[in-house]
Amino acid sequence: MQQQRITDDLEVMINVLPPNVAQAVRQGNRGDQLLEIVLDLGRCPEARYTDAEVMLSDIEVTPAEIEHVVLRISEFDADNRAGIERTLHRISAIRNRRGSIVGLTCRVGRAVYGTIDIMEDIIMSGKSILLLGKPGVGKTTMLRESARVLAEKKRVIVVDTSNEIGGDGDIPHPAVGRARRMQVPQPSLQHEVMIEAVENHMPEVIVIDEIGRELEALAARTIAERGVQLIGTAHGRTLDNLLMNPTLSDLVGGIESVTLSDEEARRRGTQKTVLERRAPPTFDVLIEIQDRQKLLVHHDVASSVDNLVRGRPPETELRWRDETGHVHQSAPEQAEAKPAEAERPAPTLQVAPPKRTTLKPVRVYAYGIAHNRLEQAAARLKLPVIVVEDIGEADLVMTVKNYYRRRPKLISDAERRNMPIYVLRANTLPQMENCLADIFGLSPDDTDPVSLAMQETQDAIRRVLSGERSVDLTPQNAFIRRQQHELIRESNLISHSYGKEPVRRVRIYRE
């Protein structure tokens, strides 16, 4: 466990503020929690802390006070950002239509040493890493610390678009260690500086903040394909968000609609038009920064994207730092195989009953398998399954191969009574769904999450076209919702998504 050390040069920032504002900040005595100072012309000055927003004065900000700050900082660049030399503070300007500054956001920049222990093994692996998270969650802080740690052993170049990583001025802030820093003359030229860094300075690692344009995404792919480790941040909070962003989705491979042959569609057990990953991802690992002490890690971005477009949960690992500073990590959550791609279970042994073609309730005695998982499988397929505790009330027995091989008395008795016994290869949700599909005589399309969702969408479209004002669909993930919207648009109807994840759903309207 590394001891964290924070340097913020806060007094330097306070000294450029108008005297009355600077005095109020000092009197507040909460500098370690200060995020930014907001000065808007004609409004009272405001301090934003980690847990509150506080008015610093009841006197409105004047043009002279705005000018007081502007004269004490560096010149504003094309992105309306300025700084204070040899610090990490950032001052952003709001201008009126004539170009005059009418507002300032003075953000406190902090170098936090020792934060990288939560993901140091990933950083040192040599893999390209993309950091996501909401504004202010600490992406740039982690990027800066990554550059410092890596520069102790490798040649590191920081492409510093807004001087947020290495600070303002010609000399980089000590927080980036031995890493070299290339500044960007204009934000629109960031992609050119990224390529220049690779071609001219032979880096082993490139660190880049705020990949936000298509040309920057293409430059990142070029860098990664040249064998240079790339560590960067992008606009977005989750992998789901990034995939829905047409400009940046290429960073993780992108998605496209593909039409399968009849044979391939039957093999997969899906409809003919499906979503697939378009290309190998630029980044090997993606880290969602949930808060300053908690990360969600996608160790294999390609696998996570493939799982998401097929309606399956991605494999992730949760890492967090407790109150004592110790880092913990959960075992990776394994994505369960899609039912159509899982091994089909042996439907029955000893007795092979006919498939049930009606949705008559079936009472199942679950021997050695998880009851809650079986109930979840039945709920997902919308099947009338009743899990009973007494085998005498059951229509059939469901168990797993290991238990069946031991021939316990209960199984032997069931066989003597010619009771159907369904044997699963593993105690997993997909295996249970496949088994229930056999019991109820369902086709593969009936069990595939995407097919089920699209069938529901088609039914809802018919209802709306028949006169219903609107229909709400079952909550789905972002990829399925996208397909639903496309199908609805083809029917000349209107659709919107409502609610918050994981219960966000599509509603269909008539025009």
φ and ψ at residue 427, rounded to 5 degrees: -85, 60
Our CA angle for 477, 288, 334, nearest 5°, is 60
Instruction: Find the mean pLDDT for residues 156-182.
Output: 93
pLDDT value at 71 more than 60 = yes
Instruction: Indicate the average pLDDT of the chain.
Output: 85
Residues 6+ apart with CB under 8 A from 155: 180, 201, 202, 203, 204, 205
Tell me how far apart the alpha carbons of residues 452 and 446 are, in angstroms, rounded to a whole number: 6
Asked which of 47-56, 130-139, 228-237, 495-504 is least confident by mean pLDDT, the reply is: 495-504
- Rounded to 10°, the helix 371-381/429-440 angle is 60
- In the chain, the percentage of residues whose pLDDT exceeds 70 is 89
Q: What is the pLDDT of residues 372-401, one digit of tens each?
A: 888 888 887 778 899 998 888 888 999 988
Residue 446 has a pLDDT of 54
Domain architecture of the chain: domains with CATH: 5-109 (3.30.450.90), 112-335 (3.40.50.300), 340-446 (3.40.50), 448-509 (3.30.1370.50)
φ and ψ at residue 292, rounded to 5 degrees: -65, -15
Asked which of 225-229, 260-264, 501-505 is least confident by mean pLDDT, the reply is: 260-264
* Residue bearing the bigger pLDDT, 183 or 477: 183
Q: Is 511 helix (H, G, I), strand (E, B) or coil?
A: coil
pLDDT value at 230 more than 90 = yes
Asked which of 21-30, 409-418, 441-450 is least confident by mean pLDDT, the reply is: 441-450
Instruction: Find the mean pLDDT for residues 17-39.
Output: 91
Residue 335 has a pLDDT of 39
Tell me how far apart the alpha carbons of residues 270 and 339 are, in angstroms, rounded to a whole number: 10
pLDDT value at 337 more than 60 = no
Instruction: Find the mean pLDDT for residues 138-160.
Output: 94
pLDDT value at 334 more than 60 = no
Q: What is the pLDDT of residues 442-482, one digit of tens each?
A: 655 555 677 778 888 888 888 888 888 889 998 888 778 88
In this structure, are strands 229-234 and 205-211 parallel, antiparallel, or unpaired? parallel
Residue pair 412/387 in contact by the 8 Å Cβ criterion: no
**Amino acid (one-letter) located at 241:** N
CA 102 from centre of chain: 36
Q: Is 44 helix (H, G, I), strand (E, B) or coil?
A: coil
Residue 195 has a pLDDT of 94
Q: Which residues on neighbouring strands pair with residue 232, listed in sequence order?
A: 130, 208
pLDDT value at 502 more than 80 = no
Residue 354 has a pLDDT of 33
Predicted confidence band of residue 359 (pLDDT cuts 50, 70, 90):
low
